[in-house]
Every structure is written in structure tokens, then in C-alpha cells.
């Protein structure tokens, strides 16, 4: 089962920074999960929220600032964990997707594209880096995933929210031709009171030719439950805990 570092080792270091990505890899994750937005001047930056308020205490939207301006943001200002002594007191920069690909050669990335307008920019960065074989592109938004596929992306894609719901609604006897396009279903361990990390559900999706990943799991009991379901992947903020829990089984 693949272990995804959700925004890196975001329980230990500010999320979506190169430092968090490297820490996650040191702790044994297989894939780095991250998010991207586009700046006003057309650069793709690694950032989850539409604004810098939560992580950088900067209220402006990513789409309204230039790369030069976002370089001055400190992505560690809003970090709620306790930094190690070596990391305390220093700024954490918001990286570009290009920098992340360069800093993590050969590392598989799961990239969640937030705004529809970022799609051509993201594809251009991946093409320039020759990284399509190691970058899975995902989005909650149907229009984003449609745009990625319509542009002829040569790499793998995940299912959008609407596509996930369609896949979950398919009966057990449904042929593969009826499944939504895409390669991986990435879902929470439960939707309200309904548990999703179940062997029957996982097997049904896998019979359709889909890989199944669950998010976001930070406790050992939950990790073991996901592993018993037969899932293909698990996303965690806390690789230090989850890698050892999964690998020890």
C-alpha cells in the first residue's frame, strides 16, 4: 500500500513547503500529495488555500499577487504544531511547482489543482520537467479534471468529486466501460455516518480498474482499518506515526 505524505509531513513542518516534503520522504512516504494555485503573473505555486491568511497570515489571494510578492510570505507563520529547535524562528517559503519537481527528482507527486485557470500552466510546467510519468493530477472539481484530460495530459488522473460519486453509485456487476475516466479514487474513510474504508467497497472499485486511496488518516487504529480494507493508498499528515504502523503489519 502506498503512503502519501499529505502536504508533506504537515504534522511536523509547515504544509506544502519543500522542508515538509523532504521530511515526509525521510520518514518513508512513497508519494508527496500537494496542491497548486496560480499567481497573477502566471506562476504555479504550491499552496492549498486560495489566500495566504491561514498559513502565512497574509489576507491576499494567491491569484492577486505576483511570484515576487508571494516569495515574501512566510508559510510558517500560521503553523500550529511545535517546530523542532533547528526549524524554529526561520521563515518557510512558498515554493513553485517547478521548484518542487526539481528538488524532488524521481519522487511521485499527487498534485491537486485548485482553480480551473491553472490547468494550462500546470501542464506546461510538467511538460517542461518531463515529469508526467510521476505526476498524478487530481481535483475535487469536475471542470478541472475535464480540462486536464481534454488538454491531452499523458500522465494519470484522479477522479473528481462528481466522478467519485458516480463510481460509488455503480452496482457490483457494472462493466468497466461504465466507470468514469481516471485512475485513482481518493476518498475519506467515511462520509458522515457511512464508513467507506470497507473491503467490499474497495474490491468493487478495484474491479472497475480503479486504485483506491483514503484520506486523511493520522492514527494507528485508522491506518490498520484502511490496510484491512485492501486499499491501494493512505494519505497522512503524520508519516512518523503512519509509516511505522503500516510497515510493521
Query: What CATH number has the domain bearing residue 197?
Result: 3.20.20.190
Who wins on pLDDT, 81 or 222? 222
DSSP conformation class of 113: E
Q: Who has greater pLDDT, 90 or 190?
A: 190
Q: Judge whether 48 counts as a catalytic residue.
A: yes
CA distance 200 to 39: 43
Helix (H, G, I), strand (E, B) or coil at 74: coil
Q: In sequence order, what are the residues at sequence separation of 6 or more whose Cβ sits closer than 8 angstroms to the Cβ of residue 82? A: none
Enumerate the β-bridge partners of residue 215: 188
pLDDT level of residue 89 (50, 70, 90 thresholds): confident
pLDDT per residue as tens digits for the range 141-155: 999 999 999 999 999
Q: Pick the catalytic residue from 6, 37, 43, 47.
A: 6
- Examine the pLDDT at 85 and tell me if it is beyond 60: no
Domain that holds residue 179: 2-247
The number of folded domains in the chain is 1
- The catalytically annotated residue of 48, 132, 141, 224 is 48
Has 6 been annotated as catalytic?
yes
pLDDT tens for residues 98-112? Answer: 999 999 999 999 999
Strands 190-191 and 58-61: unpaired
Q: Look at residue 86 and tell me whether its pLDDT is greater than 70.
A: no
Which helix (H) or strand (E) segment is 146 a member of? Answer: helix 142-150
C-alpha cell at 108: 511521485
Amino acid at each position: 500500500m502506498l503512503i502519501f505524505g499529505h502536504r508533506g509531513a504537515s504534522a511536523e513542518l509547515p504544509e506544502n513547503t519543500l522542508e515538509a516534503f523532504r521530511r515526509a520522504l525521510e520518514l518513508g512516504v512513497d508519494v508527496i500529495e500537494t496542491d497548486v494555485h496560480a499567481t497573477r503573473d502566471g506562476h504555479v505555486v504550491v499552496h492549498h488555500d486560495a489566500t495566504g491568511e491561514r498559513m502565512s497570515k497574509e489576507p491576499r489571494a494567491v491569484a492577486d499577487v505576483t511570484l515576487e510578492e508571494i516569495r515574501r510570505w512566510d508559510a510558517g507563520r500560521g503553523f500550529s504544531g511545535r517546530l523542532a529547535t533547528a526549524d524554529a524562528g526561520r521563515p518557510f517559503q512558498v515554493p513553485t511547482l517547478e521548484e518542487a519537481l526539481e528538488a524532488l527528482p524521481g519522487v511521485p507527486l499527487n498534485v491537486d489543482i485548485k482553480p480551473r485557470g491553472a490547468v494550462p500552466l500546470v501542464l506546461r510546467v510538467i511538460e517542461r520537467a518531463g515529469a508526467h510519468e510521476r505526476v498524478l493530477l487530481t481535483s475535487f472539481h469536475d471542470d478541472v479534471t475535464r480540462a486536464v484530460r481534454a488538454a491531452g495530459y499523458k500522465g494519470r488522473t484522479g477522479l473528481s468529486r462528481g466522478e467519485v460519486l458516480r463510481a460509488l453509485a455503480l452496482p457490483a456487476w457494472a462493466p468497466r466501460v461504465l466507470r468514469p475516466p481516471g485512475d485513482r479514487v481518493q476518498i475519506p474513510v467515511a462520509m458522515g455516518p457511512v464508513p467507506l474504508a470497507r473491503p467490499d467497497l474497495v474490491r468493487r472499485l478495484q474491479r472497475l480498474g480503479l486504485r483506491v486511496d483514503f484520506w486523511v488518516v493520522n492514527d494507528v487504529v485508522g491506518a490498520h482499518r484502511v490496510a484491512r480494507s485492501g486499499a491501494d493508498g493512505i494519505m497522512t499528515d503524520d508519516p512518523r506515526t503512519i509509516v511505522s504502523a503500516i510497515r510493521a503489519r
